[in-house]
Amino acid sequence: MSVAVTKSRYQSEEFSARLRRRYAAERRFRIAGMLAVGIASLMLVVLLGSIVSKGYTAFWQAQIRLEVTLDKQQVEERNYTAIVRQALYAQVPAATDRATRRSLNDLLSSGAPYELEAMVNANPSIVGTTQTVWVRADDEIDQFMKGFIRRDVPESERRLSDVKITAIDALVANGSIRSTFNTTLFTAGDSREPEQAGILGAVVGSALTLVVTMLLSVPIGIAAAVYLEEFAPKNRWTDLIEVNINNLAAVPSIIFGLLGLAVFLGFFGLPRSAPLVGGLVMALMTLPVIIIASRVALKAVPPSIREAALGVGASPLQTVTHHVLPLALPGILTGTIIGMARALGETAPLLMIGMVAFIVDIPGGLTDSATAMPVQIYMWADSPERAFTERTSAAILILLAFLILMNGLAVFLRKKFERRW
Amino acid sequence: MSVQTHIPATAMASRPAAGIHGTKMVARDVKVFYGAKQALKGINLEIQENRVMALIGPSGCGKSTFLRCLNRMNDTIENCRVEGLIALDGEDVYGKNIDAVQLRARVGMVFQKPNPFPKSIYDNIAYGPRIHGIASHRDEMDEIVQTSLQRAGLWNEVKDRLREPGTGLSGGQQQRLCIARAIAVSPEVILMDEPCSALDPIATAHIEELIDELRENYTIVIVTHNMQQAARVSQKTAFFHLGDMVECDDTEEIFTNPRDERTQGYITGRYG
């Protein structure tokens, strides 16, 4: 005898089929999600891989050793070119005729005589002695040493003549060529010669621009957000302002550039290419981002904290400054730093106000002519020399390093100031 | 916010002869509107000094709204309009002579959900006295913090960890911390908006004992959904229903011999 068991509807065949379908749907969703993450990571790896593989060589630079005899008369005539050349000819004894020697002149960077002059000026006591110095090689020699110019292609299609290659081989043979860390990349401004070009001018330009941006947009942005969120009455006007702020955050950055061109350069007559103007434009661009992020952070502070503070008799301003703002600070900081990072990577508005210019000097103030890092990358990418290609990638790496640093700072500050309740 | 400034002569007599308990606060024809919606339809109530007044009634009847009028917490709500008169010691709290910040120092509040500041236990208590400049130096502040915590019955539990965050305490302890915070500024009246609704029975019993002790020094108005609680802690009870104050009398009277049938229906559990 078996007892007839009435099955509930949740034990029926149909229900278990439905259950299987539900789980299948979940599995498909998980797979789709993992695929998406995988593709995104792959793209990131490809992007970084391509930049790093193209750019890492820029951090090394070939140098040539010279035994310079600092003849007193030549120094007085400031004929350092002759000093450098004589030293070079001495390194390559095989080159005796005029034509060969002339082509040897191209082995050294055109900046070599100036380097020597600077050395003498710094230490005049070395005049009359013979000194061993390492000077930068020309960018083509550098590229050859890195293997980017191949000796097995016919001479007519090669950027380096057979004569030069022979001379280089001779220099390599007696240990007069070395590869060192390319400090110039970090300590010099822009140059037409790749081996003399550095990113420092652009880094300083970017830093000055960001300082102006931060000093303007952070206090104004936070104050605006606090007023709108905590004090302003909710009416048609504040609604209108809110809609406008949200729209401003979506305006293409080049429009802000045009605005800066018309207002700051055209109307106020501020100097062209100046970090001051760049910073003003970036501040306009960053303000809506900071206001929106700050308002979201302020909104996330539980109203019970405001009530608690008001309940013990704190004034509305005390409520905000003592309780609400400190709690919203991590969110505000994150929004601000992300806004700043965006400003750091922005090119378009700077094009409009003349910060895309060939500027050799490192800017010393807010009104000096300057470029910014993304603009420098853009300009180097435009240059024909092979050596600038690797410097472009290197500059991108440096910019990325700054961005990672800033985002890391945002995460760190968030973790540090975040409070649970 | 428009306020009727006509003060009836009877309301001005802040300490009538009725027993030892003078009238601390008076409400006359208080109407509250949230936009077009009317939440209170003319409340008349007298709150006596050093006694506990319980406000009971079904959800949405306006008891919390009324409570929040007493220290003008409704000021912070957009579209909220208060009409009628609310007087503290015979002075119109919506009048020119009283500032909302000053009023809230005199009429403290404890909220439904414990809401300690995310700061240390010490700073939670010290915040009020600090902004009002009550303590002139450190020792005095330590003294205030200690007495406030002692009165709230929390001192023995937290005296060794005053620097730890107040948010790390249990729910009942947090609520007592909030009560200590409210009494640290020495208010005259303490408003409590369902202070035990988020607490377990043991913590609730703790708070109820505390309320009974606090009655000696403070006037207390408590909103509660718990009828037994109202019966246990209060001397006066007011029953609210749909924005009206139906009945207000001695607590014993209300629970044993209600005059209005709506009151009777509510306390016997027929609705609410």
Contact flag A310-B73 (C-beta cutoff 8 Å): yes
Contact flag B131-A314 (C-beta cutoff 8 Å): yes
Domain presence at residue A175: yes
State residue B241 phi and psi, 5-degree precision: -150, 120
Query: Rounded to whole angstroms, how far apart are CA atoms A9 and B70?
Result: 57
Per-residue pLDDT of A167-212, as tens digits, reads 888 888 888 899 999 998 999 899 988 999 999 999 999 999 999 9
Query: Rounded to whole angstroms, how far apart are CA atoms A224 and A63?
Result: 55
State residue A153 phi and psi, 5-degree precision: -85, 150
Domain presence at residue A44: no
Query: Rounded to whole angstroms, how far apart are CA atoms A194 and A387?
Result: 6
Q: Find out whether B82 and B17 touch, Cβ atoms under 8 Å.
A: no
Domain presence at residue B4: no
pLDDT at B1 > cutoff 60: no
Query: Rounded to whole angstroms, how far apart are CA atoms A203 and A183?
Result: 14
Nearest to A337 by CA among A418, A250, A407, A245: A407
Please indicate if any CB of chain B lies within 8 Å of the CB of A311: yes
Domain presence at residue B221: yes
Contact flag A307-B111 (C-beta cutoff 8 Å): yes
Instruction: Give the distance between the most distant pair of CA atoms in chain A.
Output: 125
pLDDT of residue A419: 64
Residues A308 and A244 grouped into a single domain: yes
pLDDT of residue A2: 58
Residues A292 and A325 grouped into a single domain: yes
Please indicate if any CB of chain B lies within 8 Å of the CB of A306: yes
Residues A407 and A309 grouped into a single domain: yes
Chain B partners within 8 Å of A318 (Cβ) = 131
Output B122 or B135, whichever has higher pLDDT.
B122
Using a pLDDT cut of 70, give the percent of chain A over it. 98
Interface probe, candidates B68, B80, B101, chain A, greatest A C-beta count within 10 A: B101
Q: Find out whether B115 and A307 touch, Cβ atoms under 8 Å.
A: yes
pLDDT of residue B20: 65
Tokens of A120: 């003498």
Closest in A304, A307, A312 to B128, CB measured:
A312
Chain A: closest CA distance from residue B84 (Å): 22
Query: Which stretches of chain A drop beneath a pLDDT of 50?
Result: 421
Q: Which residues contact A106 (CB under 8 A, 6 or more apart)?
A: A138, A140, A164
Q: What's the mean per-residue pLDDT of chain B?
A: 86
Closest in B101, B116, B118 to A313, CB measured:
B101
Residues A229 and A98 grouped into a single domain: no
Please indicate if any CB of chain B lies within 8 Å of the CB of A317: no
Per-residue pLDDT of B15-58, as tens digits, reads 344 446 788 899 999 999 998 899 999 899 999 999 999 999 88
pLDDT at B207 > cutoff 70: yes
Residues A126 and A254 grouped into a single domain: no
Chains A & B: contacts with CB separation below 8 Å: 69
Domain presence at residue A300: yes
Domain boundary, last residue among A145, A180, A215: A180
Q: Other C-beta atoms within 10 Å of B141: how many?
A: 18
Q: Which residues contact A346 (CB under 8 A, 6 or more apart)?
A: A253, A282, A285, A374
Q: Report the amino acid identity of residue A345.
A: G
Nearest to A89 by CA among A176, A195, A15, A178: A176
Residues A225 and A370 grouped into a single domain: yes
Q: Which residues contact A217 (CB under 8 A, 6 or more apart)?
A: A282, A283, A286, A287, A290, A336, A339
Closest in A234, A306, A311 to B78, CB measured:
A234
pLDDT at B268 > cutoff 90: no
Can you name the residues that pair with A177 across neighbouring β-strands? A64
Q: Quick one: average pLDDT of B103-111? A: 92
Tell me the CA distances in angstroms from A291 to A222, A286, A296, one per residue in order. Answer: 6, 9, 9
CATH number at residue B214: 3.40.50.300
Domain presence at residue A388: yes
Residues A153 and A249 grouped into a single domain: no
Describe chain A by its helix, strand, coil percentages, rounded to 5.
70, 5, 25
Burial of A89 (0-12, 13-18, 19+ CB in 10 A): middle
Interface probe, candidates A234, A310, A312, chain B, greatest B C-beta count within 10 A: A312
Domain presence at residue A36: no
Nearest to A335 by CA among A286, A301, A374: A286
User: Quick one: closest CA in A to B103, which residue?
Assistant: A313
Query: Rounded to whole angstroms, how far apart are CA atoms A186 and A196?
Result: 11
Chain A: closest CA distance from residue B70 (Å): 12
Q: Quick one: average pLDDT of B217-225? A: 92
Contact flag A314-B185 (C-beta cutoff 8 Å): no
pTM for the predicted model, two decimal places: 0.82
Residues A307 and A390 grouped into a single domain: yes
Domain presence at residue A292: yes
Q: Find out whether B166 and B176 touch, Cβ atoms under 8 Å.
A: no
Q: Find out whether B70 and B103 touch, Cβ atoms under 8 Å.
A: no
CATH number at residue A267: 1.10.3720.10
Contact flag B117-A305 (C-beta cutoff 8 Å): yes
Domain presence at residue A397: yes
Strand pairing of B244-250 and B236-241?
antiparallel
The tally of domains found in chain A comes to 2
The parent domain of residue A309 ranges over: 200-417
Interface probe, candidates B64, B77, B107, B131, chain A, greatest A C-beta count within 10 A: B131
The parent domain of residue B106 ranges over: 9-267
- CB within 8 Å of chain B, chain A residues 205-244: 233-234
DSSP, residue by residue, A346-390: --HHHHHTT--S---SPP-STTS----HHHHHHHHHT---HHHHH
- The sheet with strand B236-241 has its strands ordered as B107-110, B189-193, B219-223, B52-56, B236-241, B244-250
Residues A151 and A208 grouped into a single domain: no
pLDDT of residue A384: 87
> Number of helices and strands (H, E) in chain B?
11, 10
Strand pairing of A177-181 and A60-69?
antiparallel
Closest in A318, A323, A420 to B117, CB measured:
A323
Q: What is the number of alpha carbons within 13 Å of residue B244 lying toward its C-beta? A: 7
Per-residue pLDDT of B52-75, as tens digits, reads 999 998 888 889 999 999 999 888
Please indicate if any CB of chain B lies within 8 Å of the CB of A27: no
pLDDT of residue B197: 85
Residues A86 and A139 grouped into a single domain: yes
Contact flag B109-A311 (C-beta cutoff 8 Å): yes
Tokens of B51: 């006694």
Tell me the CA distances in angstroms from A97 to A85, A94, A163, A334, one per residue in order. Answer: 14, 9, 12, 66
Q: Which helix (H) or strand (E) holds A122?
A: helix A112-122
Chain B: closest CA distance from residue A336 (Å): 23
Can you name the residues that pair with B51 across neighbouring β-strands? none
Nearest to B104 by CA among B204, B189, B17, B223: B189
Domain presence at residue B135: yes
Burial of A61 (0-12, 13-18, 19+ CB in 10 A): buried
Place of tokens 């973790």: A415
Burial of B207 (0-12, 13-18, 19+ CB in 10 A): buried
Please give the sequence-ordered ranges of beta strands (E in DSSP) within B178-230, or none if there are none: 189-193, 219-223
Contact flag B181-A322 (C-beta cutoff 8 Å): no
Domain presence at residue A281: yes
Contact flag B117-A308 (C-beta cutoff 8 Å): yes
Please indicate if any CB of chain B lies within 8 Å of the CB of A327: yes
Contact flag B185-A323 (C-beta cutoff 8 Å): no
Contact flag A234-B181 (C-beta cutoff 8 Å): no
ipTM comes to 0.85
Residues A82 and A230 grouped into a single domain: no
Domain presence at residue B3: no
pLDDT of residue B9: 42
Contact flag A310-B118 (C-beta cutoff 8 Å): no
The tally of domains found in chain B comes to 1
Residues A176 and A204 grouped into a single domain: no
Strand pairing of B107-110 and B236-241?
unpaired
Contact flag B178-A308 (C-beta cutoff 8 Å): yes
Q: Find out whether A51 and A38 touch, Cβ atoms under 8 Å.
A: no
pLDDT of residue B15: 39
pLDDT at B7 > cutoff 50: no
